[in-house]
Structure 1
Amino acid sequence: MKTVNFFKYAVFALALGLFATACDDDDPVKDPTEQGDGNEGNEPGGSDPEEPVEPTTAKFVITSSEKALDLKSPAYLKVFTDLTQTTSDVQIVGGENVVTAPDAFTQVSWNSDSKTFTGYIYGRGAITLGGAGLRSYKLDGDKMVEIGSAVTVENFGNTGTFGNYSYAAQISNPYVMRVSRSDDNTAGDNRYIADFTDKYAIDGVMPAITEIIDRGNNEVAMTLYYSNSDKAAVAFADYDLNVSSVIYDERIGASYGAQRSVRYAQAATDDEGNIYVFSGQSSNDNLVGALKIAKGSKEFDKSYHFNIGEKSGGYRFRKVYHIGGDDFLLECFPETGAVENMSTSGKMAVVNMKSLSFKWVTGFPEDVNSISIGFPDNADGKIYVPVSGASSMHGGGSGGGKPSGKAASATVTPTIYVIGADGVATPGMTFKNTELLKAITILK
């Protein structure tokens, strides 16, 4: 397998704004009160459905760290085969055939187009890099191999992929760093995106990106957050982040999950390419829910509204993940009512976006203050969720907020839980208690 240095270039989308170099004054902007029928002006679009994954032959990466060191621990990557295995007491940190990254990863991504695995380095976890950044890897046989050297970035909140790119977006400024991989190792250019024009502002406030969703065919949908507005906002753009339109809807709140400086995605596509935009942390009970953007559309479907706050009995949620088909997993807060940035989450629920049903997951650890939940991944109609004992940094559910006491000393067997549309969590692989599982990434 040829290893190439893809880090010879990085493309920045930098400005006081976010997108609009190729936009002119005639670009359409949808008024916040304006509703479309979900079909006007559409061209066929959206990425093709993923190829089915055979669980017994699927390869996947577990990202772990040494629990006692947490963000001061390097990241350890190990490739496995067979998602159905129930191997117990697995060792990653200090184990065989493990790749050690010299910095801690707080988030990871897999680009199915470029077949690139990226680990994102939070500033406090930059053991050797000295600041926030990212490292990328390719699969070589049954082992991950780093390509090029680390790239430093500005502090980031949201991460992911689109096209052949990995990206890291800031939370306080509308900046995006786009890192490209090309098999022919061609040189790239440093590209600066012009700032938003006033027509994208709400009362003079520009938005920040909370997620970028790849729709295929050189098109992305970006969920936006305005600090002075609690409503859904989505921008449509090409892979160079040139915006063609922005739409708004006041039936739900802003689409993002927050903890510390991290911004978690609250929008995702189903198997058919429809986008569901969720709002789980609105302070308004009536705005906790989800809307739909049909495949190929650039409008919210005005006939679709899932009032999740009402259906759940007043619970809010921080994270959203696609399980398969019309089913999604919500990582909810354990109590009803308003939530704070540092509140603990980890109470799991499954929602079906067609039947508008809500069910609590059974078989999953109930004491969210004693666990740390890593980033899951899905395949074959199931989602695989890594759970470890809480650490000083990752204390309680998604982490944070429990720096001492029970959360810091809790003993929980690190386990991959498998959850299906029925809402039943079944334990799979288990790992040594010294492991802090950060993510499972299925190489599909």
Structure 2
Amino acid sequence: MKRGSKLALFAAFIAFTTFSCSSDENSGNGTGGGVDTGKTKYIITATTGAVGIADYLLTADDVTTGTVSTIGNGIEQDGTYRYYITAENNFFSLLYGQGNPGAVTTYNLTAEGKLQKKSDFQAETVHVFAAVNKDILTVKVPRSGAASIAQMYKIDATKSLITGEAQQDTKILAGNGERAFFTWATQVGDKVFMPYMSIKGDGLDNFGTANPDSTWVAVYNYPELKLEKVIKDNRTSYLGAYFTNGLFQDENGDAYGFSGAIATSNTVMTSTKPSAVVKIKKGTTEFDKSYFFNVQEKSGGYKISSTTYISKGKFLLLMYGNVGKNNGAVKMAIADVYNQTFTWVTNTPETLTSVTSRYNITTEDGNSAIIGVNTPEGSWIYTVNGTTAVATRGMKVEGGQITAIQKLKY
């Protein structure tokens, strides 16, 4: 990945919070490499920080206790940056190809629970990847220069094959002299909702905008990926962030959108609206004007960095540590979007270097989130209860910082 000024935003995000991506709700009940025994194996990815080396893939039967190490263990990934998604009981490792096509490696489990490589194929370097039906939808989004066409690809999650594609002109989609940059994609019912931010994309201020106080969600049918409409609001800012999901569907079919309200112009934050949660009711393609959860007010002035859905309206929030800003050591909280309550997570380390974000997995009972916590003293896997907001320390990971936690059945 080029470490130039045009990726300053990405570099800053990595410094604040690591990446993890799993679609547990859509992971299916495939058999891995053998008969489904009903057992679960956790996959922990950890990086040593070595130049040119990505993560090690480690496995464990239980993440609530014990120790696992990268030293002499695991499967080493190639390349500098890798991103992960689980779909149809397959684990996908995507290489960020610095703008060029990158390898996508698929893994599953044998009948004995051993992680094995299933296939390798080449795909475009993308900025969005999400499980939709039995596919993985990926999107490559241009952010500067003359190029304005976003490329969308459908990957069959069972066969690990690209089965279709579509295009979207991001300048036409924005319709305001800027360009749309998709933050993520979420399956909502039988459609795909894709929140985006409006960006200048002028090379000097790529991610800056003259429209910091608006929210947009593009609605596409599936599998055709034809644009149906754009849902708009102006009570907060864009949903999610670069490489960060900000829209989730609950068990009732309603969708909740999370905004950090951190839009900038020339790196100066210009959002005037609060960091908040908005709602789209099941079966509709409009924001619910009667619903507005002002998280910034409830938290005492803090802004949302990223979000993980637990269940029953409970979300684990990673909050920027400095009041009213988009920086500062990460802080964790539980938000109940049904009752609009906000509770800081307790029993955590005093200083959090980073916490795995984006689609952290949940416990089997659906009551807690399982996350990776990196501190100056070491790295551990924690379980955060969505009702009590209490964190419990589990397995220690040695020899690297945790970047993702997944699980597969075998």
**1:234 is aligned with what amino acid?**
V
Corresponding position of 1:212: 185
Q: Deviations over 1:356-388 (max 9, x none)?
A: 1111111122323xx232243223210011022
Q: Sort the Cα spacing of 1:329 and 1:174 in 2 relative to 1 into closer, same or farther, 3 A.
A: farther
> How far apart in 2 are the matches of 1:205 and 1:158?
20
Q: CA contact under 8 A between 2:362 and 2:368: conserved in structure 1?
A: yes
Decide whether the 8 Å contact of 1:169 with 1:209 is kept in 2: no
**Contact 1:287 / 1:309 at 8 angstroms: preserved in 2?**
yes
**Deviation (angstroms), 1:413:** 2.2
Is 1:347 the counterpart of 2:325? The answer is no
1:310 counterpart SS class? helix
| Cα distance change, pair 103–297 in 1 and its aligned pair in 2 (3 A) | same
Of the three residues 41, 53, 64, the one matched with 2:46 is 64
Match of 1:236 in 2: 219
Please give the per-residue CA displacement for 1:389-431, whole angstroms capped at 9, x wherever unaligned: 4xxxxxxxxxxxxxxxxxxxx4x22100110121111101112
Amino acid at match of 2:397: F
Q: CA RMSD in A?
A: 3.0
How far is 1:175 from its partner? 2.1
Aligned twin of 2:195: 223
Distance change (3 Å), C-alpha of 1:418 and 1:191? closer
Q: How many residues align?
A: 348
Distance 1:159 1:192, change over 3 A: closer
Change (3 A) 1:305 1:426: same
Going from structure 1 to structure 2, the CA distance change for 1:266 and 1:222 (only over 3 Å counts) comes to same
The Cα offsets for residues 185-235 of structure 1, whole Å up to 9 and x where unpaired, read as 59765644253684x333233312111001243x21111111242311111
Are the aligned partners of 1:314 and 1:336 in contact in 2 as well (CA < 8 Å)? yes
- Contact residue 154 and residue 164 of structure 2 kept, 8 A: no
Which of 248, 254, 261 is 2:238 aligned to? Answer: 254
Q: Secondary structure at the match of 1:415?
A: strand
1:93-141 Cα deviation digits (max 9, x unpaired)? 422xx33322344421111xx32211222346x9xxx864532222323
Unaligned runs of 5+ in 2: 1-23, 30-37, 200-209, 263-269
**Cα pair 1:64 1:93 within 8 Å, conserved:** no
Describe the shift of the 1:437–1:50 C-alpha distance in structure 2 as closer, same or farther (beyond 3 A). Answer: closer
How many Å separate the matches in 2 of 1:314 and 1:273?
Answer: 30
Cα deviation digits, residues 273-327 of structure 1 (max 9, x gap): 3211111133435331010112222111111100111111111121111122111
Q: Secondary structure at the match of 1:309?
A: helix
**Other structure's SS at 2:131 match:** strand
Rate the CA distance shift 1:372–1:338 in 2: closer, same or farther, 3 A: closer
Please tell me the residue identity of whatever aligns with 2:373.
V
The whole-number CA distance in structure 2 between the counterparts of 1:386 and 1:175 is 32
Partner in structure 2 of residue 424 of structure 1: 390
SS in 1 for 2:217: strand
Q: Please name the residue that 1:316 is paired with.
A: 303
**Alpha-carbon offset, residue 152 of structure 1:** 4.0
In the alignment, structure 1 residue 148 sits paired with structure 2 residue 133: no
- Asked whether 1:388 is paired with 2:371, we answer no
Q: Structure 1 residues 161, 308: closer, same or farther in 2, change over 3 A?
A: same
Alignment partner of 2:279 out of 273, 278, 292? 292
Select which of 66, 69, 75 maps to 1:91. Answer: 69
Normalised to the residue count of structure 1, the TM-score between the two structures is 0.70
Q: Work out whether residues 239 and 257 of structure 2, in 8 Å CA contact, stay in contact via their aligned partners in 1.
A: yes
Note the C-alpha offset of 1:248. Answer: 0.2
Aligned-pair identity in percent equals: 24
**Distance in 1 between residues matched to 2:292 and 2:307, nearest whole Å:** 17
**Distance in 1 of aligned mates of 2:25 and 2:97:** 36
Which residue of structure 2 aligns with residue 334 of structure 1?
321
Give the distance between the partners of 1:347 and 1:216, measured in 2 at CA: 32
1:203 aligned to 2:190?
A: no
- Quick check: 1:99–1:145 contact (8 Å CA) kept in 2? no
Once the two structures are TM-superposed, the CA of residue 86 in structure 1 deviates from its matched residue by: 0.9
Output the CA distance in 2 between the equivalents of 1:373 and 1:187: 32
Higher strand share: 2
The alpha-carbon distance between structure 1 residues 292 and 244, as it changes in their structure 2 partners (threshold 3 A), is: same
The aligned residue for residue 105 of structure 2 is: 135
Which residue identity is paired with 2:167?
I
**Normalised by the size of structure 2, how large is the TM-score?**
0.76
